[in-house]
Structures are given as C-alpha cells and as structure tokens.
Amino acid sequence: MKGTEHWIKKGDVKLFLWHKPSPAPSPRGTIFFIHGSSMAGQPTYDLQVPGRPHSSAMEYFAERGFDTWTMDNEGYGRSDKSRPINCDISNGADDIEAGSRFILERSRHKKLMMYGISSGALKAAKFTERHPERVARLALDAFVWTGEGSPTLVERRKKLPEFQARNRRPIDRAFMRSVFDRDHPDTAERSVIEAFATAVLELDDSVPTGTYVDMCAKLPLIDPVKISVPTIVMRGQFDGIASFDDLIEFYRRLPHPDKQFSLMEGISHASFQQKNYMSVYHILLSYFTMPEPVYRG
C-alpha cells in the first residue's frame, strides 16, 4: 500500500508526517499514531516484515476503512534535530498540535482517533488535555501515570543523572533488543525484533532524553480528570512500565462514561511488535468502531 510523506512547520521546526489513506470512498475515521521514546513513527506503525501478515498497523487499519497518519516528533527520524533541547513530553504534545491541525484541515472528519504508546501515550494524553475538541477517541497503550510500582522506571532512574546531563542518548541494536527482553522473554519473534531494530536504526543512532527524564523524575504529568473524551487504557500482561494498580487508579478517575481498560494477554511493552499483535489490533479496532450511543442520560 502506497504512502505519502508530508512536511509541516512548528514555528521554525520542520516535522515529518506519513500518511496511508483508506481505499474506501468514505473513510470511517482518521487515526493519528504517536510513537514512543526510542523510535520514530514509521518503524513503529508501518513496519514491513516478510511473512508476517498485517505487520503494518497503518495498512491494517487503512484496509478497514481508516485514514492513517503518524509523525516523527522533533528530535526523531526525519524531523528536525537541530535545536539544543531534550524534546520532552510537553514538546511532543506541541508537535501533535501542529500535526493534528494539518491532518484535520485535510480530513472529512472533525476529530481524530488518537493512539499513543509508552511516552507517546503521555504525549497523546497531554495533547488531549489541551485540545479535547480535536479528539474523538483516545487509546493509551503502555501508559504510566505516577510511576509507582514500575520495575522499568526503578532501573531507568539509576541513569537519571546521565539523562539530565545531555539532550540525546545513544541507541543501538543491543538496546532495541532490550526493549523486548527486559520484561518477559519470548513475547516477540526474533525476526520481528531484528526487522524493527533495523528500521529504527536506519533513521536514528541517538534519540532525545526528555521523555526519559520526564518519566523518571516528573510524573504524574497527566491529570485524568482533564481527559474529557472516550478513552481506553491498554496494558500488556507483562509490561513493566507501570503497575496494574497505578493504571487502575488512573482509569477510575477518568470522567467520561465511555471508557475501557484492557489487559492484553502475553504482551510486554511494544505491543504492535509482539507475537499477539493481532489481539492488540482487535482491541483497538473494536474501540475505534464503537457505535455512538443513541441515549445519553
């Protein structure tokens, strides 16, 4: 399926967007996928792995009637890397503001379906706090709220002074493998891990430190009471980024009655690259195709 690249400006910052449209004459919605801390948009959401059906999430959802978009946040992939900043969560939400404005100006839909994973979920949630009028439904995968009880963040905080001392951190193939091995072994095929690592490293050999600093030292960044749109919280069974109790309390405080919490069996952190990725797609497609209620009290 053919995609098209687009370039936008956030002030003087140039940002890259990638679009795969639905072949349907009347798309059922527009999805904006937001990437995490250590990889750009296309490797995460348009990953091509021979012999792996529906490896590209963008193509899967486009084939089911959605226009699909992703972007590289500032400091990642093809987007601008020139400013001497660490590109934190708030800055990422600024990127989403610019990207969403561009997408909605070209869409037949007035609001976006928004999906974010890990720090991308934090960025998507922060953007939704600021601009709920642009979000139809919000999906938060591998999300963390306060960080309490997170084994991943306990380990990551050991390097916090190093992250605070510079704006970028190096990544390599060993690091990319560790994303899949740190929580629970064998949740992802080795061939998929290697293909994912190759795609990520073709674009970046270092990434910003800002999201790691925020997740280690500044949580909570999101007030669930301010998330006023339909929301699903998606947690992998083995994901160490957040404790179950932390996410349940966040979910409990979400004010919109149309909300779901989904515990995903056999999943660790990078859900779209896991062996059970089709169940993740199913959960997300189900929520994004939820019929509008005919009665609201």
Note the pLDDT tens digit of each residue in 204-256. 999 999 999 999 999 999 999 999 999 999 999 999 999 999 999 999 999 99
- ∠ CA 243-112-136, nearest 5°, is 70
Q: If you average pLDDT over residues 43-63, what whole number do you get? A: 98
Residue 189's pLDDT is 98
Note the pLDDT tens digit of each residue in 57-77. 999 999 999 999 999 999 999
Residue 297's pLDDT is 84
- Asked, for residue 29, whether it belongs to a domain, the answer is yes
Q: Which residues contact 157 (CB under 8 A, 6 or more apart)?
A: 216, 217
- The count of structural domains within the chain is 1
0.85 exceeded by pTM? yes
CA atoms within 13 A on the CB side of 4: 6
Residue 37 has pLDDT above 90, yes or no: yes
- Asked, for residue 142, whether it belongs to a domain, the answer is yes
- Asked, for residue 191, whether it belongs to a domain, the answer is yes
Element (H, E) at 90: helix 89-105
Residue range of the domain that includes 205: 4-288
CATH number at residue 8: 3.40.50.1820
Which residue, among 283, 25, 247, has the nearest Cα to 144 in the 3D structure? Answer: 247
- Asked, for residue 44, whether it belongs to a domain, the answer is yes
Element (H, E) at 97: helix 89-105
| CB-CB neighbours of 26 under 10 Å | 7
Residue 264 has pLDDT above 90, yes or no: yes
